[in-house]
Amino acid sequence: MRNVRRGQSGQAAVEVALMAPWVFFLFIGIFDLGFYCYSAVCSQNAARAVAIAYASGGASSSCGAALGELNMLPNITLSLPCTGSISSANPLVVSATELNGGVCPDHTLLSSAELAVPFWCVESAVTYQTVQLLPIPGFLTGQMTLTRTAWMRLIQ
């Protein structure tokens, strides 16, 4: 015996057809946002690793430290050049410089005893260009350039 009233037999199919694009859009947005957050965390870790490598071994080991932190991202290969300008052929730019005057941006957090010890600072910057993902209008453009910086205080 059939208890379906006349004209209601396709109601569930119509509801699924109306809601499926919105659910798909929601999952794609969550995936894109998760990838951007993961890229930002990896870029910050790479900037920190560059500052540590520059402080301990100089500029020659800085590129390898950044590549070691970013090796799980999709458009990074271990043979990439780490200097130059950002582009689709070079999605990673690494720089490390000694700050003039020996003043770190976070010098206000140091105690007077720590400030009495001579030191200088190294600032590192890592710029990474993400791969093209599905753009979300008004929120995520599909491809972002992330720049993260880190500072390392070097005691002489």
At 14-70, the pLDDT tens digits run 999 999 999 988 888 888 888 889 999 999 999 999 888 887 777 677 888 888 888
Whether residue 134 lies inside any domain: the answer is yes
Q: CA 33 to CA 24: how far, in whole Å?
A: 14
Residue range 88-136, pLDDT digits in tens: 778 888 888 776 555 666 655 666 666 666 666 788 888 888 887 777 7
Whether residue 5 lies inside any domain: the answer is no
Taken as a whole, the chain contains a residue count of: 156
- pTM equals 0.74
Interstrand relation of 145-155 and 119-129 (parallel, antiparallel or unpaired) = antiparallel
CA 7 to chain centre: 53
Whether residue 22 lies inside any domain: the answer is yes
The residues, ordered by sequence, that sit 6+ positions from 70 with a Cβ below 8 Å of its Cβ are: 42, 43, 46, 76, 92, 126, 128
Whether residue 45 lies inside any domain: the answer is yes
Q: Which domain holds residue 75?
A: 12-155
Reduced to 3 states, what is the DSSP secondary structure of residue 109? helix
Whether residue 109 lies inside any domain: the answer is yes
Whether residue 51 lies inside any domain: the answer is yes
Reduced to 3 states, what is the DSSP secondary structure of residue 121? strand
